[in-house]
């Protein structure tokens, strides 16, 4: 009798085990179905948000820098204009003190079930796009993996190039001035120092990152000198000049997206205007 009860108990346990095993296998098969069907990775979405001036000389420094260059010496006596400019605006700053830098903010959405790294970024900036004294600069950045010590972010011969004509690549900006636009790196947290370490966009999520660039002083100051020429009367009388930098930004971000390989997403063109402030900005 006891043996008969034990057999029924073993039979019930075996049936329960087989049932649970079948449920487990069905769930396993369900989870594996997308892989078996070859689900393709999805393209990330890049949203350009804004461009913020983060480093610039003050208007007084701009006036002190340009006044001796554009205001002629009265009666042709050398040095008189420079002395008057110094009295009105203070000593002339160096070109290095005149650096202008800006941050570009982006939001990247990743619809995939795996993280994707940002691989490369191309940014082109045109200042005074509507004027005859237009200046164009472009910068390509290659982001570094954690296992690449000594990586500087400098591009190689095949960096920032796209096969699609709909995506802007480095070939589209061959007329850009050399060293006009300089990349400082990117950061994902406020106050974080920009670096060239490759950022990861989390799976099924998004990340906001900021890319910092600066203008090489010589090229930008040559363009801004035209602004100062138009305000010679104000500079002569010791008045502050309103320095404004109209700009147009555009570019492309490249990602490594699983079996899709290296894919590119463009942004811009976006127009705006930076106004040089009364007091110097402090880089964040």
Per-residue pLDDT of the chain (284 residues; tens, 9 = 90+): 555 555 565 555 445 444 444 554 444 344 443 443 456 788 889 999 999 999 999 999 999 999 999 999 887 778 889 999 999 999 999 988 999 999 999 999 999 888 999 999 999 999 999 877 788 999 999 998 877 777 888 888 889 987 766 678 888 888 888 889 999 988 877 677 888 888 888 888 888 989 999 998 888 888 888 889 889 989 988 888 889 999 999 999 999 887 778 888 999 999 999 999 988 886 54
What does the radius of gyration of the chain's CA atoms come to, in whole angstroms? 29
Tell me, yes or no, whether 29 and 129 share the same domain. Answer: no
Domain count of the fold of the chain: 2
pLDDT at residue 18, as a whole number:
44
pLDDT at residue 270, as a whole number:
94
Q: What is the pTM of this model?
A: 0.78
pLDDT at residue 29, as a whole number:
45
pLDDT at residue 180, as a whole number:
92
pLDDT at residue 161, as a whole number:
87
Place of tokens 């009265």: 74
Domain that holds residue 30: 1-39
Tell me, yes or no, whether 31 and 50 share the same domain. Answer: no
* Largest interatomic CA distance in the chain: 129
Tell me, yes or no, whether 260 and 156 share the same domain. Answer: yes
pLDDT at residue 32, as a whole number:
41
pLDDT at residue 107, as a whole number:
93
Report residue 119 as tokens.
């691989």
pLDDT at residue 38, as a whole number:
54
Residue 146 and residue 204 in contact, taking contact as beta carbons nearer than 8 Å = no
281 occurs within a structural domain:
no
pLDDT at residue 68, as a whole number:
92
Tell me, yes or no, whether 4 and 71 share the same domain. Answer: no
282 occurs within a structural domain:
no
- b or e along 95-122 (b: 16 or more beta carbons within 10 Å of the residue's beta carbon)? eeebbbbbbbebebebebeeebebbbbb
Alpha-carbon distance 79 to 230, whole Å?
21
pLDDT at residue 135, as a whole number:
87
H/E stretch holding 271: strand 261-275
Alpha helix stretches (DSSP H) within the chain = 2-36, 59-70, 80-89, 217-229, 232-236
122 occurs within a structural domain:
yes
Tell me, yes or no, whether 48 and 182 share the same domain. Answer: yes
């Amino acid at each position: 009798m006891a043996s008969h009860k034990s057999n029924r108990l073993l039979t019930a346990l075996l049936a329960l085990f087989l049932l649970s095993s079948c449920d487990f296998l069905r769930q396993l098969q369900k989870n594996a179905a997308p892989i078996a069907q070859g689900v393709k990775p999805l393209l990330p979405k890049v949203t350009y948000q804004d461009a913020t001036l983060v480093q610039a000389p003050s208007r007084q420094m701009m006036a002190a820098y340009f006044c001796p260059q554009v205001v002629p010496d009265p009666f042709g006596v050398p040095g008189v204009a420079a002395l008057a400019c110094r009295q009105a605006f203070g000593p002339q700053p160096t070109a290095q003190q005149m650096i202008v830098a800006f941050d570009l903010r982006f939001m990247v959405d990743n619809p995939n079930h795996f993280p994707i790294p940002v691989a490369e970024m191309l940014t082109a900036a045109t200042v005074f796009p509507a004027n005859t004294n237009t200046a164009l600069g472009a910068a390509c950045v290659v982001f570094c993996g954690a296992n690449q010590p000594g990586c500087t972010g400098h591009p190689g011969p095949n960096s920032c190039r796209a096969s699609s004509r709909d995506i802007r690549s480095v070939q589209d900006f061959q007329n850009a001035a050399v060293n006009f636009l300089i990349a400082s790196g990117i950061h994902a947290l406020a106050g974080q120092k920009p670096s060239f370490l490759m950022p990861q966009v989390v799976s099924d999520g998004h990340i906001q990152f900021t890319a910092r660039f600066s203008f090489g002083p010589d090229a930008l100051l040559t363009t801004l000198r035209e602004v100062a020429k138009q305000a010679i009367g104000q500079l002569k009388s010791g008045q502050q000049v309103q320095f404004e930098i109209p700009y147009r930004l555009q570019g492309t971000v490249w990602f490594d997206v699983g079996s899709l390989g290296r894919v590119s997403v463009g942004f811009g063109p976006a127009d705006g205007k930076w106004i040089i402030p009364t007091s110097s900005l402090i880089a964040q």
